[in-house]
């Protein structure tokens, strides 16, 4: 090493390596130097650290404080898709009771007959009918909104807003299509299929972990209770079509399997 002489001194008499801060060799007693060198206060000075590239530091700073992407999902990102779905359900409710449109313009009240937009619009209007007053349209809407709010937010944090919108719209519209195809004169509206689709898509990874005997973070028991409540609405509210609910949940379950293989940020 180039700086090896600063670390020791070789005794000319015995050839031993001794400290540069002594005047006599501790092995043979031979004088190696007339006086010991001065020891600087604070010890030897350390070499200055190499300067970091300013460009690299700035890029690292930008990466550290970069805002999370809403498209890929994260714990801190606002669930914009879920908020939009819930807000649209409440807005449709207010506009309908203000008399802005008739229910037959948006709900499934028979065969489609070219009114394909009803497959989507029927999901955002909740009407009562059948059963007791406790399970009227308001309770039906409350149950679906709570489920969408919970599982839409969880799914959006895991996969992003685009996945939530895709699953919600496909599960909701697909459920209405199945209801119209099975029943001769169907009556269907409300977001039970949409809610069950989001619930099932979110639950797939935990179901796979449970089946394999691995640990999982979700609450499958609570999820099963909410799913049972959504399905039970079909027994109490006439417009909560059971075929739309089952088909929506099945669509969400099918979508959940490929999503479970996608690497998430949380």
Domains of the chain: 10-35 (no CATH), 80-260 (1.20.1540.10)
Instruction: Tell whether the model's pLDDT for residue 63 goes beyond 60.
Output: no
Say what the pLDDT of residue 25 is. Answer: 78
pLDDT band at 111 (very low <50, low <70, confident <90, very high): confident
Tokens of 54: 């300013």
Say what the pLDDT of residue 34 is. Answer: 65
* Residue 67 per-residue DSSP state: P
Report the 10 Å Cβ neighbour count for 56.
9
Instruction: Tell whether the model's pLDDT for residue 97 goes beyond 50.
Output: yes
The Cα 49–Cα 138 span in angstroms is 68
Percent of the chain with pLDDT over 70: 76
Average pLDDT, the chain: 81
pTM over 0.75: no
The Cα 176–Cα 190 span in angstroms is 10
Say what the pLDDT of residue 185 is. Answer: 85
Poorest-pLDDT segment among 2-16, 103-117, 168-182: 2-16
Q: Is residue 218 within 8 Å of 203, Cβ to Cβ?
A: yes
Which among 37, 5, 12, 10 is positioned nearest to 22, based on CA atoms? 37
Partnered with residue 31 across adjacent β-strands are 24
């Amino acid at each position: 090493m180039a700086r090896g002489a600063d670390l020791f001194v070789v005794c000319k008499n015995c050839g031993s390596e001794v400290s540069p801060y002594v005047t006599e060799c501790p092995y043979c007693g031979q004088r190696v130097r007339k006086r010991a060198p001065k020891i600087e206060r604070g010890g030897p000075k350390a070499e200055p650290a190499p300067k970091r590239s300013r460009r690299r530091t700035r890029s690292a700073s930008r990466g550290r404080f970069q805002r999370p992407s809403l498209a890929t999902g994260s714990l801190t990102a606002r669930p914009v898709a879920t908020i939009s779905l819930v807000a649209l359900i409440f807005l449709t409710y207010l506009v309908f009771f203000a008399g802005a449109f008739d229910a037959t313009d948006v709900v499934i009240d028979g065969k489609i007959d070219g009114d394909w937009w009803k497959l989507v619009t029927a999901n955002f209007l909740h009407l009562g009918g059948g059963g007791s007053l406790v399970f009227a349209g308001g309770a039906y809407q409350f149950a679906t909104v709570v489920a969408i709010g919970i599982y839409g937010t969880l799914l959006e944090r895991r996969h992003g807003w685009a996945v939530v919108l895709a699953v919600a719209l496909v599960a909701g519209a697909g459920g209405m299509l199945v209801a119209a195809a099975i029943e001769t004169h169907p009556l269907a509206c409300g977001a039970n299929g949409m809610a069950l689709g989001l619930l099932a898509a979110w639950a797939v990874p935990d179901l796979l972990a449970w089946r394999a005997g691995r640990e999982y973070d979700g609450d499958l028991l609570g999820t099963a209770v909410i799913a049972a409540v959504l399905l039970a609405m079909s027994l109490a509210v006439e417009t909560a079509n059971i075929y739309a609910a089952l088909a929506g949940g099945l669509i969400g379950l099918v979508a959940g399997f490929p999503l479970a293989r996608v690497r998430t940020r949380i």
